[in-house]
């Protein structure tokens, strides 16, 4: 099973190990594309036009330190991605507190989307950075469009023959769309909060708690040692783990969409 996660804006303040080396990162076929983005980002953030750099990255004046950090990416210390990302989803996933077999399964199955790196695995050592998928970089353009043209072969290969649990947010999901038979093996999840209003159940899409719910979902799968072979088995496993899952009608050759209904946030 392949599990696709979004990155988080929240990251560790600094790495603790050696400098970044593309030779030590998963999916080496992405390295030429990574180098183009890295070169553009470092040049932009090290340049004299601070305002242009902030606009390109969607940063405020109070986030100038992010530019200085980006300018030093090639010489900055690194940390494993599993320690670097510290946002809500990763807090709920709690990788460090998983037993060893579950941690090994996580490192085999999880890929994290990234505006800078395209995609990385949990054990890949990368420096702290700021490069959202919505950024536009000189010579590269909109990162969402750029990675859409670069990720297909790598992620098609990473998916193998098993199911894919795609928990990426919309902008990152747009960088790779599985097609045909692979789409039919892919499950996407929408989190809905159900509550009672005037005696009737009402459902709404959640944002902040969506991330925490997805983190807990992945944690449950890892703790259970789940190894589904098909998308249908994956959905069945989620139900066995006491998640309320409702499937949406999908056409052949399309991604399987499910709603995960929660009553407690």
- Which pLDDT belongs to residue 127? 95
The whole-model pTM stands at 0.94
- Which pLDDT belongs to residue 252? 83
Nearest-angstrom CA–CA distance, 192 and 251: 22
Lowest mean pLDDT among 37-41, 216-220, 259-263: 259-263
DSSP-derived pairing of the beta strands 200-205 and 186-197: antiparallel
Nearest-angstrom CA–CA distance, 214 and 226: 16
pLDDT band at residue 167 under the 50/70/90 scheme: very high
Spacing of C-alpha 89 from chain mean position = 10
Could you tell me the two tokens for 264? 């407690």
For range 33-52, the mean pLDDT: 96
For range 133-159, the mean pLDDT: 96
Nearest-angstrom CA–CA distance, 231 and 187: 6
- Which pLDDT belongs to residue 194? 79
pLDDT tens column, 62-76: 898 999 999 999 999
Bridge partners (DSSP) of residue 114 are 118
pLDDT tens column, 183-196: 999 999 999 987 77
Spacing of C-alpha 157 from chain mean position = 17
pLDDT tens column, 6-38: 999 889 887 787 899 988 899 999 999 999 999
4 φ/ψ angles, rounded to the nearest 5 degrees = -105, 125
Could you tell me the two tokens for 107? 């490192």
Nearest-angstrom CA–CA distance, 103 and 94: 10
pLDDT tens column, 215-238: 999 999 999 999 999 999 999 999
- Which pLDDT belongs to residue 208? 66
Is 242's pLDDT higher than 70? yes
Bridge partners (DSSP) of residue 256 are 187
Residue 131 CB partners (closer than 8 Å, separation 6+): 37, 41, 57, 70, 114, 115, 116, 143
In the chain, the percentage of residues whose pLDDT exceeds 70 is 99
- Which pLDDT belongs to residue 8? 92
Query: What does the mean pLDDT of the chain come to?
Result: 93
223 C-beta neighbours (distance < 10 Å), count: 14
- Which pLDDT belongs to residue 265? 65
pLDDT tens column, 93-116: 999 999 999 999 999 999 999 999
């Amino acid at each position: 099973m392949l599990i696709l996660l979004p990155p988080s804006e929240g990251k560790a303040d600094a790495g603790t190990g050696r400098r970044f080396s593309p030779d030590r990162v998963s999916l080496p076929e992405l390295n030429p594309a990574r180098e183009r983005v890295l070169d553009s980002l470092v040049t932009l953030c090290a340049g004299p036009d601070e305002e242009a750099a902030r606009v390109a990255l969607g940063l405020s004046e109070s986030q100038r330190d992010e530019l200085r950090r980006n300018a030093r990416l090639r010489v900055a210390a690194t940390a494993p991605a599993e320690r670097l990302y510290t946002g809500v989803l990763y807090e709920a996933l709690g990788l460090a507190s998983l037993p060893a077999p579950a941690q090994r399964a996580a490192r085999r199955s999880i890929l994290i989307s990234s505006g800078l790196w395209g995609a990385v695995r949990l054990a890949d050592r990368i420096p702290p950075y700021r490069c959202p998928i919505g950024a536009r970089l000189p010579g590269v353009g909109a990162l969402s469009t750029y990675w859409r043209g670069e990720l297909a072969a790598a992620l098609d290969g990473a998916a193998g023959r098993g199911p894919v649990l795609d928990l990426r947010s919309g902008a990152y999901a747009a960088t790779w769309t599985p097609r045909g038979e692979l789409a039919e093996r892919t499950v996407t999840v929408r989190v809905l909060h159900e509550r009672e209003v005037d005696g009737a159940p009402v459902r709404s899409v959640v944002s902040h708690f969506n991330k925490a719910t997805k983190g807990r979902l992945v944690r449950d799968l890892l703790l259970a040692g789940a190894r589904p072979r098909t998308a249908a088995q994956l959905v069945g496993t989620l139900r066995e783990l006491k998640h309320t899952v409702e499937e949406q009608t999908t056409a052949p050759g399309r991604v399987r969409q499910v709603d995960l209904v929660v009553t407690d946030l």
